[in-house]
Structure 1
């Protein structure tokens, strides 16, 4: 029902984005399809190499999906608190709510959930995203026009370009460098997987070490914001304290895992190269278990002629020009 020209007599319900972005869900879906494909072809691998191949593929896909997915998550740093705060502008009414701030490499995510959910004849459940773009102030202006609750607008204002807190520049540029080095780590991971399928296991180990190193560089880039004096701001009477969150610690664990895998491969390949080639070769176990070369038979006369050629007689030598 509309008055005219598409103008509604009532404000439509605002649809807020889910905590997982579409890019993140797409990334996870792609890697799940790859994992399913490898599991389907698993019965075609014979011998003891089957279990080792499955473990190696699952572990490699886990590292790859973490490196890519953390570029789209919004929980590198987070702050959660419960407070009694004003709900709308030009109103003195307070609500009890849980306020969440989630910082990612590409923007921030602000949540507001009532405690209880129904207050002031409304359902208080918001989840708003503000991207690290040159038009972040435009997103903030749009949020003002939509009339979002005061806690969301207050936190979003702290991350605008003209805010005296300077959080926009701190988190945007640290996230930009962190994302760039994380994509570099992804490239190293791709090269390492290619080298693992070739008889150059040592260099594959080097690339895994490089993958872990670039992940550490990404974490160091994002962590530099904590070396700057924090901008303190409060909601109600509770101060907002931003701490490292899930994606940061998951990236740290993945970096340590890559570094350990690379170091172990380099050390073992230096100590026992033949064993390492046998372990990473898909045909080693097949030749050992599934194939058997039985006894062969050859004409004995042919063998004698090849091994012991007939002697040259003196009559034959007289007709030839023999030079000593």
Structure 2
């Protein structure tokens, strides 16, 4: 059953992931398994190093998890309001709903949830994703064909190519560069963890500084959206604007943490290198080139006389000379 031009009277809803997308959940699950695997080996570490290794593993995995997760999140900038607005075109129906807009590095996410959910004999609970990887105008055209509610279409139209607000290019390219620099920060984080397992802690600290620097570059890239002319999103009689949201501030926190850890490692390497190496369990094996110092030797005089056939005094002299040669200076008779 169709109306004209093959348009159906009932439109299927497109359900897309919101803040916790499938990719984001996969990243969290994988890094959680890594954390569990590392924590399982902690009982085999004795003494004070156990606490140090626990803190080190948790902090390192937390930094890596956030760097990857914010790339897939849709919560770098957000805005929303409670509105009363016409529901669809060519209809006099008015609904009361919560409308929300969230912008990520890969696209925008528009939500519309009725208050209450069931109004006009319909369940009003929409969650639509428009990605930068495709031409957003194409997704917008498909949304028009599917007959999505007016508030969603109005917000999505602001990010099309022909919109006077000019949001498409700024958000798309700022998100693209922010994502690229964030992945570079993740590579620096990997190198830092590899160097921490080698006796080059100073270089690991430098890579942590590089991690923090690239995170700051990513934030600066996304923050260029503040240079745009102010664009209000007016739905019904209510207007709202976009502001930096959870993923942006979380990335800033991780950047500060990475910078702090890098500075701490570099400073400790300059002021207390031995303590730093001991904390990272890197003091073992450093004295292998030095001559071994053996302990105290006890000599049986009667045995020496029977074996060597010499006098007691001569035997002791010969034994002392041999022990001195093998670096056993402490000889007790």
- Give the CA deviation at 1:117: 1.2
Deviations 1:194-214 (A, max 9, x none): 111111111111111111111
Match in the other structure for 2:99:
99
Q: Which residue of 2 aligns with 1:307?
A: 324
Can you list the C-alpha shifts for 1:149-196, whole angstroms capped at 9, x where unaligned?
A: 110011111111222211110100000010011011101111111111
Q: TM-score, normalised by structure 2?
A: 0.83
Structure 1 pair 189/180, CA: closer, same or farther in 2 (3 Å)? same
| Residue 22 of structure 1 pairs with residue 22 of structure 2 | yes
What is the TM-score with the length of structure 1 in the denominator?
0.85
**What SS is found at the alignment partner of 1:154?**
helix
Question: In structure 2, how many angstroms separate the alpha carbons of the residues matched to 1:115 and 1:305?
Answer: 95
Aligned to 2:193: 193
Cα distance in 2 between the residues matched to 1:271 and 1:85: 65
- Aligned-pair distance for 1:46? 2.1
Give the superposition deviation at 1:282: 6.4
Q: Does the CA-based 8 Å contact 1:112-1:125 persist in structure 2?
A: yes
**Structure-2 residue corresponding to 1:32:** 32
Kept in 2: contact 1:27–1:65 (CA 8 A): yes
Residue in structure 2 matched with residue 114 of structure 1 by the alignment:
114
Equivalent pairs, count:
296
- Is 1:49 matched with 2:49? yes
Secondary structure of the 2:72 match is coil
Q: CA deviation at 1:14?
A: 2.4
Distance of 2:198 and 2:55 partners within structure 1: 18
**What is the root-mean-square deviation in Å for CA atoms of aligned residues?**
2.4
Equivalent-residue separation in structure 2 for 1:12 and 1:80 (angstroms): 25
C-alpha distance in structure 2 between counterparts of 1:214 and 1:77, whole Å:
20
When residues 294 and 150 of structure 1 are mapped into structure 2, their CA distance, relative to the original with a 3 A threshold, is: farther
> Tell me, which stretches of 5 or more residues in structure 2 are unaligned?
285-292, 300-315, 326-333
* 1:259 corresponding residue in structure 2: 259
- Do the aligned residues in 2 keep the contact of 1:49 with 1:282 (CA within 8 Å)? no
- Residues 76, 247 of structure 2: 8 Å contact kept: yes
Task: Decide whether aligned partners of structure 1 residues 273 and 283 sit closer, same or farther in structure 2, where only a CA change above 3 A counts.
Answer: closer
Structure 1 CA distance for aligned equivalents of residues 247 and 23 of structure 2: 16
Structure 1, gaps ≥5 residues long? 285-292, 309-324
Matched, 1:68 2:85: no
Deviation, 1:296, is 5.6
Do 2:13 and 2:126's aligned partners in 1 also have CA atoms closer than 8 Å? no
1:294 Cα deviation from its structure 2 partner: 9.5
- Structure 1, residues 85-139: CA drift from partner, whole Å, max 9, x if none? 1101111221111000000000000000111111111111111100002422111
- Deviation track 1:40-98 (CA, whole Å, cap 9, x = no partner) reads 12212222211110110011000000000000000000001011111011112211110
Q: Give the 5 Å matches for 1:272-287.
A: 272-281=272-281
Deviates more, 1:160-169 or 1:66-75: 160-169
Once residues 282 and 323 of structure 2 are traced to their aligned partners in structure 1, the CA distance between those partners, rounded to angstroms, is 37
Single out whichever of 181-190 and 132-141 deviates more from structure 2: 132-141
Question: Which residue number in structure 2 is paired with residue 147 of structure 1?
Answer: 147
Distance (Å, rounded) in 2 between the aligned partners of 1:63 and 1:230: 34
> How is 1:168-183 mapped onto 2 (pairs within 5 angstroms)?
168-183=168-183
